[in-house]
């Protein structure tokens, strides 16, 4: 059974880029969200195996969304997606419950390595 993944990023280009990497490697993208609040709602609805979560988004940022998801679903696996130079935010994201982080622009090998390490 394919691994179910939700992509959360306010930039359509980033969601498409990640989706292409994932689908080409046999993963099932079950949901996409454009902000943290939407991610929280969609997580509850689809219960993905893993969430790729952007840090900087409107309405609710990725760190707040990760905290909210992890408080309701402690087993949730979240990987933060961050732009270069957001080191402090990465530390905060890990403290919020993120299991790993990947840096934009995405390197397909690094994205896949993170997913395989966390959910197979």
Sheet hosting strand 78-82, strand order edge to edge: 28-33, 4-8, 50-54, 78-82, 100-103
Check residue 1 and give its pLDDT. Answer: 78
What's 75's DSSP letter? T
Reported pTM: 0.94
Q: How many Cβ atoms are within 10 Å of 40's Cβ, its own excluded?
A: 20
Query: Which segments in the chain show pLDDT lower than 50?
Result: none
SS3 of 18-58: the string is HHHHHHHCCCEEEEEECCHHHHHHHHHHHCCCEEEEECCCC
| Whole-number pLDDT of residue 45 | 98
Q: What does the alpha-carbon distance between residue 107 and residue 114 come to, in Å, rounded to a whole number?
A: 11
CA 71, 74, 80: angle at the middle one, nearest 5? 85
State residue 85's pLDDT score: 67
């Amino acid at each position: 059974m394919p691994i179910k993944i939700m992509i959360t990023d306010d930039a359509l280009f980033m969601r498409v880029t990640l989706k292409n990497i994932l689908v080409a490697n046999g993963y099932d993208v079950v949901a996409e969200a454009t902000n943290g609040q939407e991610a929280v709602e969609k997580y509850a609805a689809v219960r993905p195996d893993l969430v790729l979560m952007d840090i900087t988004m409107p309405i609710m940022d990725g760190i707040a969304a990760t905290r909210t998801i992890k408080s309701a679903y402690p087993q949730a696996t979240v990987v933060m997606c961050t732009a270069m130079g957001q080191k402090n935010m990465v530390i905060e994201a890990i403290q919020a419950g993120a299991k790993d982080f990947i840096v934009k622009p995405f390197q397909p090998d690094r994205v896949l390595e993170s997913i395989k390490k966390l959910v197979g």
